[in-house]
Each structure stands twice: as structure tokens, then as C-alpha cells.
């Protein structure tokens, strides 16, 4: 498996196809495996790059909890692009991966050709909402600490992923799934690139967040995939891929 190394941490990535580059990030508890279908179908026209976040699947699980953070994740994404010689790419992701894509755009807007946000949200303006989210993230961490990898759950994107470290997932929940400020949600109105906001029609927890982002991001394109839940790319891959291909095809050269 291909890796880059960043400050002693090996980061696993996959790259398929040629053409305009597209970097896609998975959700919490998932991995590159979730994007194999897209890598196969979209790589005829695009260079599809996927990767495993810290604590997940083929990427290392550092011992130091401080090495799990939004900032570290965003810089891992930049380091993968650097390694592949890519200055600018379409940046996208599902769930936590979508949030990290927004965080990447906030730090590195000059490296973003367009954004694709799948079944995700931008965080919280209200500190109480953020606290409630973080309580959920910390409970997930505790379940990994208590039950090991049995705490992964049964989501489609989780079932197909193979992880090595429950401890790494617990630290990722505490440091990456949890949110510590409102900088990402406050950045939405300043986004200057074409943005696809896509959600499964049955992904009820994220329907409101999808509407919010579609209304706040200038010129955003909203797509709802019928018959899909949170893992819209796995639940309805043909409709998902068609929406992504249409959006990518609409981008200026």
C-alpha cells in the first residue's frame, strides 16, 4: 500500500486514474474501502485520490493524543497533494470527511478547485450545540476504550472497513470528530469555489445541515439522492456517481 510519512506517522493513500485530481476523505470509522466504487467508475476521467485518516485502517495510530486534530488532518491532506505533485484539486468528503474538506478550504483556499460535501455538516454556531455533539463524540471514544473494535457499529461504510486499533479510533473521536470552535461554519459565506452539497434522502440527521450549507455557500449546487442513507455513495452508487460526474463536468477548465 502506498504511504507518505509525516513526522513519524505513516499515512495510507490510494490513487487511481488520470486527469483533474479529486481528493476524497472518508467519514469517522470508515476508510478508503468506502470509495473503491468511485475510484473505479470515475477514474476514467479523473485522478481519484482517497486516504485513511489518523487512527483509521491503513494509517498509523499515534500514541500521543495531541497528534489527532483538525489541524493535523488538514495538513495530512495537503501533504498527500504535495507528495503527488498536485497544487490544486477538487476537495471532497463524506460526514467527518466533508467537515475536514471545509476546514481544508479554510486553511488552503488557494489549493481548492471546487468542494464536494457529502452527507455532512459544518459544525455549530451555538456553543451548546457543539457541546452536545462533543458529548456524543466522547461517548463514542469511551465505547472504543471499553469494547474495542466491536464498538464500530453497523453502518455500511463501517462494515467494509478494516481497522487495526480501537485506541486509535478512540483518540480520533476525541481529537478529530469533536469540534472546538465555530471557524468552519463561519467560513461558509466566504467560500469562493463551486460547491456540491449532496445528501441521501433518508439521512435525516444531515438534511437540515445540507439545507443550511446550500443556503449559506454562494452558488452551491444541492443534490438529494433518493433511497440513500448516510453512506449515499454505497447505498445508491449509480445516482451518486452520476451527480458527482455532472458536477465535475460543469467545472471550468
Residues whose CB is less than 8 angstroms from the CB of residue 72 and which lie 6 or more positions away in sequence, other chains included = 54, 176
In whole angstroms, what is the distance from residue 107 CA to residue 181 CA? 14
Could you tell me if 200 and 233 are in contact, meaning their C-beta atoms sit under 8 angstroms apart? no
User: What does pTM read for this prediction?
Assistant: 0.97
How many residues in total does the chain contain?
253
Q: Set out the domains of the chain in order of their start, with CATH numbers.
A: 3-250 (3.40.50.1820)
| Per-residue model confidence (pLDDT) at position 172 | 98
Region of 8 (left: φ > 0; alpha: ψ -120 to 50; beta: rest) is left
Query: 199-227: per-residue pLDDT in tens?
Result: 999 999 999 999 999 999 999 999 999 99
Cell for 36? 473503491
Query: 107-146: per-residue pLDDT in tens?
Result: 999 999 999 999 999 999 999 999 999 999 999 999 999 9
Amino acid at each position: 500500500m502506498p504511504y507518505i510519512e509525516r513526522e513519524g506517522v505513516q499515512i495510507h493513500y490510494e490513487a487511481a486514474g488520470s486527469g483533474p485530481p479529486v481528493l476524497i476523505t472518508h467519514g469517522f470509522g470508515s476508510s478508503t474501502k468506502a470509495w473503491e466504487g468511485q475510484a473505479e467508475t470515475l477514474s476514467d476521467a479523473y485522478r481519484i485520490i482517497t486516504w485513511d485518516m489518523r487512527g483509521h485502517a491503513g494509517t498509523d495510530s499515534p500514541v500521543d493524543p495531541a497528534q489527532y486534530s483538525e489541524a493535523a488532518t488538514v495538513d495530512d491532506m495537503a501533504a498527500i497533494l504535495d507528495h503527488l505533485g498536485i497544487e490544486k484539486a477538487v476537495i471532497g468528503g463524506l460526514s467527518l470527511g466533508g467537515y475536514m474538506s471545509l476546514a481544508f478550504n479554510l486553511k488552503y483556499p488557494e489549493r481548492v478547485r471546487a468542494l464536494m460535501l457529502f452527507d455532512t455538516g459544518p459544525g455549530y454556531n451555538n456553543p451548546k450545540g457543539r457541546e452536545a455533539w462533543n458529548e456524543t463524540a466522547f461517548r463514542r471514544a469511551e465505547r472504543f476504550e471499553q469494547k474495542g473494535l466491536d464498538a464500530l457499529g453497523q453502518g455500511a461504510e463501517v462494515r467494509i472497513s478494516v481497522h487495526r486499533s480501537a485506541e486509535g479510533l478512540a483518540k480520533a473521536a476525541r481529537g478529530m470528530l469533536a469540534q472546538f470552535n465555530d471557524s468552519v461554519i463561519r467560513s461558509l459565506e466566504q467560500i469562493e469555489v463551486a460547491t456540491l452539497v449532496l445528501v441521501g434522502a433518508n439521512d435525516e440527521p444531515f438534511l437540515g445541515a445540507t439545507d443550511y450549507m446550500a443556503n449559506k455557500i454562494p452558488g452551491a449546487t444541492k443534490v438529494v439522492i433518493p433511497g440513500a442513507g448516510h453512506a449515499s455513495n454505497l447505498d445508491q452508487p449509480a445516482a451518486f456517481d452520476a451527480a458527482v460526474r455532472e458536477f465535475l463536468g460543469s467545472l471550468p477548465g
